[in-house]
Structure 1
Amino acid sequence: MRIDVVTPWYPDHASVFLGVFVQQQVTALRSKGHDVNVEVAQIFPGPPGPIPPAVHEAMHRHAAQDVDAVYPTVDGATWIPCPVPARSGFAGRADAFAAGIAAKRRFLPTDGEITHAHLGVPTAAAVLDLGDQPVVVTEHQSTLDFVLDEPPARDRYREAIEQAAGFYVVAGHLRDRLIAAFGPEVTDRIDVIPNIVDLTDIAFRERDHERLDRWIYVGAIAAHKGTKLLIEAFLHHRANHNPHATLTIVGDGAEGRWLWNRATEAGAGDAIRLLGPLPHHEIGPHLSEADLMVHLSPAETFGIASLEGLGAGLPVISLRNGGAEHTWGSIESIAGVLLDVGSGAPAVSDSVAELADAPQRLDLASARRHVEVTYSASAVADRLLAAYTKAMS
């Protein structure tokens, strides 16, 4: 099968995490012998108002002279510059993506039998009218509510649901959100195909769960990921339960300096390791060294990091943030603790202590099997291929 994947996110040398879930799907489909071409629509911010025609004309001239300079291709993925006017919203972004992708295809055409667009708006809205092949959509953006709050984008989103040959979300709570937004008439048009959770480089290790000394968090250090709550819970735990606790953070972000300063002021600077972002294959050893994953994002579309933690044999403390309860809520009793969104640092800290006091309830070997069976690359690729076949029939 020839598949065109269109996405605003894909890993590159500047960001090894960005869109890794899209890359994992592409790799899984290619491993089954399918031809997958990837187009990555990149936002190039412009001033308010329409993009001057001279900008597009200049890009056309440069592409005619050196197509690789304008549309670089690496490992079957082509990056497409899309000038986007400031303050044009998500609908304006969709229009910019459509113009950019159409311009690229004049130089580097695609021949896919089907298009797989990641995100309803802007991406699916951009490609629905660019070709005759059926379009399958996967929705997994954490900014979905902002998209739906914008009337022009909301209208484009409804059109994407209605016109797509298949519309999928990565977890059930996103389906519920879209049904609430657009009414029961879209219920039968939306189904769930999860992200891949790749445990290839993540070894399972049995642990003594009576000692949950070594915490780990993997993800962005940012407000929307709950990292302020993470550090406050960690400091509370050291002060009230376990003065030997340590915290390893894999990732970076805007709150990194604040987090370090807060820990240092509390006398816990030596107990925290900030490793920065790491390639996926380098994360496994750090998971093996840890005793517990704590992930306190208040909202997650899916939540791959927590599932990778379970795959490594780590109990997980998380919030009922949408993704967590839909991906591993059914095995919470053997895998960790899910707290209500809004829980404070003492509640998180106390839940770690309570888990250490009752380790006999944990069965992380079964938790890993749950992740392998449900979210393996082969299983998800088979579901995608079934969706493509249905869309083309």
Structure 2
Amino acid sequence: MAADRRQQHRQQASTPARPARRAGTLAVVTPWYPCPQRPHAGSFVRTATAAVAEGFARVEVLNGEDWPSAGGEFRHDLVRTAYERLAGPVGAARVPVVPETTPEGWRLTRVPVPVRPPALYAEWARAHESALRAVLPGGRIDADVVHGHTGVYGGWVACRLARPGARVVVTEHASFLPSVLRQAPSRELYREVVERADAFLCVSPWLRERLAQSFPEHEGKFRVVPNAVDVASIPVRPEPVRELRRWLFVGNLVPAKGVPLLLTAFAAAVADNPRLELTLVGPGNAEAVRRRAAELGVGHQVVVRGPVEPGEVFGIMHDHDLLVHPSTFETFGMTVVEAVATGLPVLVTRCGGPEQTLAGLEGVAGRLVDLADDPGPLLDGYRRLAAAVDRLDPARARAAIERRYGLAAIGARLSNCYTGVAGGSDRRDGGGAGGSARSGGGAGGPARRGGGGGSGTGTGAVVFGGPVAGSAAVDGLPALPYHPEQPPAAEDGAVLLLALGGTRLRAVVEDARFLAERGVPVVVAAARREVAEAAAEDPRIWVLRLPSGDGPLGAWRLWRLARGGLPALLRHGPRPRIAELVVCDAPATAFAWHLARSAPALPLRWCVERAGYAGRTRPPGPPEAGHGSRSDVPEPVR
């Protein structure tokens, strides 16, 4: 015990102190951030923010989420126009983008960003700028320090919308950086970000070298500041590993992560030791992985679990003996670092980030192997590691990870960047805050387009009252009173989730189930069969199948249905009172615009605001159904 206390004291003494809280504000702009539907997305952004949050009086996170349109440029223009007319801050828009408070006490604003695939990265970056400008009061980010994550998304928005005098810091994480730089317009946009940023950080030396080669005139600006890892919160496995029998893979189930190579290497290892097991955890085509395992004759020894909650990952690591990470490219390798912190041995390819994050730890934390098209190096590395597993030192490896990437260490380095210590431009003229003339979009933000109208008489199904005195109106649509503490209850009516695309299937279904579990009647109006069928698996959810919008008459059928308002939408299937409508994806935006015109008092939202439903658990039956007289559209699934 005394030895343990001495070791703990030595580690604390060598760990940099957290920055003291100061009067100031930090805004973090990111295309990724954890949410209930994607709990792992952007977790490294949240951890980096936690590393510096104590140094600021207020922290704000601005998360722009890509909402892909469908059907070509014309339909995307319709979606974008509808979004511009509907979205805005609370009290000044028909469909407000509502900030929430995170468990850490930060202000988090999730902003849907309609984007058109396929398109250049530069076009998507400008879409993020336009969307965030539209929902920010005054069209600016009001913070002393603005930290943008990824140069082409968060970095561009930070540079364009930071207020004059703010310090702009950009961190590059993206493994798709080479694709960005191969596109001439995107490369020029990226150059503007580099020129404007006061400090430009890279999470690995590989990224720094790539940027220095691409922008040699700014080579001195690029610095390496790795991702932060909350090592103190990662539980250590109760017993050290003695045998590398239970293999584990955590990540996307795609070829770029080395999954096919992993299966082939595992099958070869099973020939030596039939007792081996392999578990794969992560999103992707699980059935394809199972089929390939069966073809290799190891189907009964391979388990594919799919994605799990973040809190489950470390327990799964404790239940296995070896993390195998055969990725073809990583900028950092967060999964590997977290595995080392738990005490799990690792077998990792030299794919960019891991050879830096595990520098000096080979033979201590695990083993690195060369990239190859065949399983030979991976299989040989496993055999060598299995023979030397007793010589690994997981406690020493964890201590090294803490010193390198712990919150205190990375927090101190980021704090220096925020204050201008140790390099980086220290300009305060705000010259890039408004962007250059060729970038488009002045400080006033995009002009609201066209037209009038929208003074419909309502549907008779709306529960909430009309607009309050003094509320703003956008294109004839009133900004309704917003009461986040009073979301619809079962007696108020149903929440209607409108989804015309398929890209956010998981979010739609999970939000519908969330509401049903809390006693709120819920109707999913879906245009894609896969969304409708997934929602219909829960008997508490009513589902309406809308026209798909495909084919020569598809768009016209949707337009006709939208013009009919809620009576047309609910002509078949359930006919509950609608207390609130949630726009769930980009294709639904233009449809929602027509519904808003026909029902001026109907509250519309961009997401299910879950905080307001805390404590609700009473599960009701589905909404009471009515029966329509027409059989064309919409078609009820149930």
Superposition TM-score, scaled by structure 2 size: 0.58
Q: Distance in 2 between matches of 1:274 and 1:138?
A: 34
Q: Distance in 2 between matches of 1:108 and 1:272?
A: 52
2:97 to 63, 70, 73: 70
Name which of structure 1's ranges 43-52 and 268-277 shifts more when overlaid on structure 2.
43-52
Structure 1 unpaired stretches of 5+: none
Q: Deviations over 1:139-161 (max 9, x none)?
A: 00110010001001111112211
* CA separation of 1:63 and 1:381: change in aligned 2, threshold 3 A: same
Structure-to-structure mapping, 1:83-98, within 5 angstroms? 83-98=114-129
* CA separation of 1:386 and 1:95: change in aligned 2, threshold 3 A: same
Structure-to-structure mapping, 1:223-302, within 5 angstroms? 223-239=255-271, 241-254=272-285, 256-302=286-332
Larger Rg: 2
Q: Distance in 1 between matches of 2:199 and 2:388?
A: 45
* CA separation of 1:87 and 1:280: change in aligned 2, threshold 3 A: closer
Q: Distance in 1 between matches of 2:188 and 2:318?
A: 47
Paired residue secondary structure (1:80): strand
* CA separation of 1:299 and 1:61: change in aligned 2, threshold 3 A: closer
Letter in 1 for 2:204: A
Matched positions, count? 389
Q: Distance in 2 between matches of 1:202 and 1:117?
A: 30
Deviation of the 1:377 alpha carbon: 1.6
Q: Deviations over 1:217-250 (max 9, x none)?
A: 11111122111111111111101x2111111222
Q: Deviations over 1:19-71 (max 9, x none)?
A: 11011122333355542100011222233267357324422479656677534
* CA separation of 1:375 and 1:68: change in aligned 2, threshold 3 A: farther
The aligned residue for residue 82 of structure 2 is: 55
The aligned residue for residue 150 of structure 1 is: 183
* CA separation of 1:68 and 1:116: change in aligned 2, threshold 3 A: farther
Asked whether 1:212 is paired with 2:237, we answer no
Asked whether 1:128 is paired with 2:159, we answer yes
* CA separation of 1:56 and 1:286: change in aligned 2, threshold 3 A: closer
Structure 2 unpaired stretches of 5+: 1-23, 421-425, 429-638
The aligned residue for residue 165 of structure 1 is: 198
Asked whether 1:194 is paired with 2:226, we answer yes
* CA separation of 1:55 and 1:186: change in aligned 2, threshold 3 A: same
Paired residue secondary structure (2:136): helix
Letter in 1 for 2:282: G
Taking only the aligned residue pairs, the percentage that are identical comes to 33
The aligned residue for residue 365 of structure 1 is: 395
* CA separation of 1:148 and 1:110: change in aligned 2, threshold 3 A: closer
Q: Distance in 1 between matches of 2:128 and 2:224?
A: 25
The aligned residue for residue 101 of structure 1 is: 132
Q: Distance in 1 between matches of 2:94 and 2:394?
A: 50
Q: Distance in 1 between matches of 2:360 and 2:351?
A: 14
The aligned residue for residue 42 of structure 2 is: 19
Asked whether 1:222 is paired with 2:254, we answer yes
* CA separation of 1:331 and 1:60: change in aligned 2, threshold 3 A: closer
The aligned residue for residue 174 of structure 2 is: 141
Paired residue secondary structure (1:329): coil
Deviation of the 1:179 alpha carbon: 1.2
Paired residue secondary structure (2:27): strand
* CA separation of 1:247 and 1:114: change in aligned 2, threshold 3 A: same
Q: Kindly indicate whether the alpha-carbon contact (under 8 Å) linking 1:334 and 1:362 is maintained by their aligned counterparts in 2.
A: yes
Q: Distance in 2 between matches of 1:102 and 1:2?
A: 19
Q: Distance in 2 between matches of 1:377 and 1:295?
A: 24
Q: Deviations over 1:1-35 (max 9, x none)?
A: 31000000001111011111011122333355542
Q: Distance in 2 between matches of 1:275 and 1:332?
A: 29
Q: Kindly indicate whether the alpha-carbon contact (under 8 Å) linking 1:236 and 1:346 is maintained by their aligned counterparts in 2.
A: no
State the Cα RMSD in Å: 2.3
Paired residue secondary structure (1:129): helix
Deviation of the 1:84 alpha carbon: 2.1
Name which of structure 1's ranges 119-128 and 5-14 shifts more when overlaid on structure 2.
119-128
The aligned residue for residue 80 of structure 1 is: 111
Q: Kindly indicate whether the alpha-carbon contact (under 8 Å) linking 2:86 and 2:93 is maintained by their aligned counterparts in 1.
A: no
Name which of structure 1's ranges 50-59 and 351-360 shifts more when overlaid on structure 2.
50-59
Higher helix share: 1
* CA separation of 1:66 and 1:154: change in aligned 2, threshold 3 A: closer
Letter in 2 for 1:15: R
Deviation of the 1:127 alpha carbon: 3.0
